[in-house]
């Protein structure tokens, strides 16, 4: 069974009032994410991976096109869910407690998450993950992701240029602060923490 582009969890223009335009979504979801799905299907066709799950392909793949495309399908699906038209604000409950415990405060989390995204040289991702002794922030290059390192992701932010160049041009820090203040989907992170 072929891999499919998962539906976007909101309309193309739903994030526009919060800084991510419909044009960005049309390219980032409609072209980039779709291209990873299309390439992944070409790569697995006629191979042992044809009937595997996406996670199985990611875990089995060596560095190269199969890993890059399968991981990017997963990363983008997770990224769309990490943002919400009702995003931003503050976490609550157990997630808020763990944020405060790991980073001192919500502002402490934002500062460290922004630093991870800003200092990821070139293309990559910033992540909130569930570590062995509490929440942690990590960054990965290109298509790499926590799953490949045995880590559980709670949230991600794409810092490839295609994520921000239409709306924020070269100003990655502005894209990051907007993500943290206006887009971040705390309900998604809380659901991942509880799962
Ligand atoms: Mn991307």
Residue 41's pLDDT band (cuts 50, 70, 90): very high
**pLDDT-above-90 percentage for the chain:** 99
| Of 84, 89, 64, 76, residue with least CA distance to 125 | 76
Q: Ligand 1 centroid vs 76 CA: distance in angstroms?
A: 6
Residue 1's pLDDT band (cuts 50, 70, 90): low
Supply the pLDDT for residue 36.
Answer: 98
Dist CA 180 CA 6 (whole Å)? 24
pLDDT averaged over every residue in the chain? 97
Q: Ligand 1 centroid vs 166 CA: distance in angstroms?
A: 13
**pLDDT-above-70 percentage for the chain:** 99
Q: Ligand 1 centroid vs 93 CA: distance in angstroms?
A: 30
Domains of the chain plus CATH, in order, are 20-81 (1.10.287.990), 93-194 (3.55.40.20)
Q: Ligand 1 centroid vs 28 CA: distance in angstroms?
A: 6
Supply the pLDDT for residue 118.
Answer: 97
User: Per-residue pLDDT for 40 more than 70?
Assistant: yes
**Any idea which residue has 């909130």 for tokens?**
128
DSSP line for 143-180 = T--GGGGT-EEEEEEE-SGGGTHHHHTT-HHHHHHHII
pLDDT tens, residue by residue, 108-135: 999 999 999 999 999 999 999 999 999 9
């Amino acid at each position: 069974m072929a891999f499919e582009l998962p539906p976007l969890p909101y309309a193309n223009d739903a994030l526009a009032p919060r800084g991510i335009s419909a044009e960005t979504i049309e390219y980032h979801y409609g072209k980039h994410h779709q291209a990873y799905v299309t390439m992944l299907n070409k790569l697995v066709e006629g191979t042992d991976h044809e009937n595997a799950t996406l996670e199985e392909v990611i875990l089995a793949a060596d560095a190269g096109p199969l890993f890059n495309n399968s991981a990017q399908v997963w990363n983008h699906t997770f990224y769309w869910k990490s943002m919400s038209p009702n995003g931003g604000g503050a976490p609550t409950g157990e997630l808020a407690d763990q944020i405060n415990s790991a980073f001192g405060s919500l502002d402490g989390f934002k500062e460290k998450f922004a630093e991870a995204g800003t200092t990821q040289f070139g293309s990559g991702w910033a992540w909130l993950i569930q570590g062995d002794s509490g929440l942690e922030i990590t960054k990965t290059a290109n298509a790499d992701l926590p799953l490949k390192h045995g880590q559980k992701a709670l949230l991600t932010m794409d810092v490839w240029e295609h994520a921000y160049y239409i709306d924020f041009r070269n100003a990655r820090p502005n894209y990051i602060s907007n993500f943290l203040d206006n887009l971040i989907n705390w309900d998604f992170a809380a659901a991942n923490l509880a799962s």
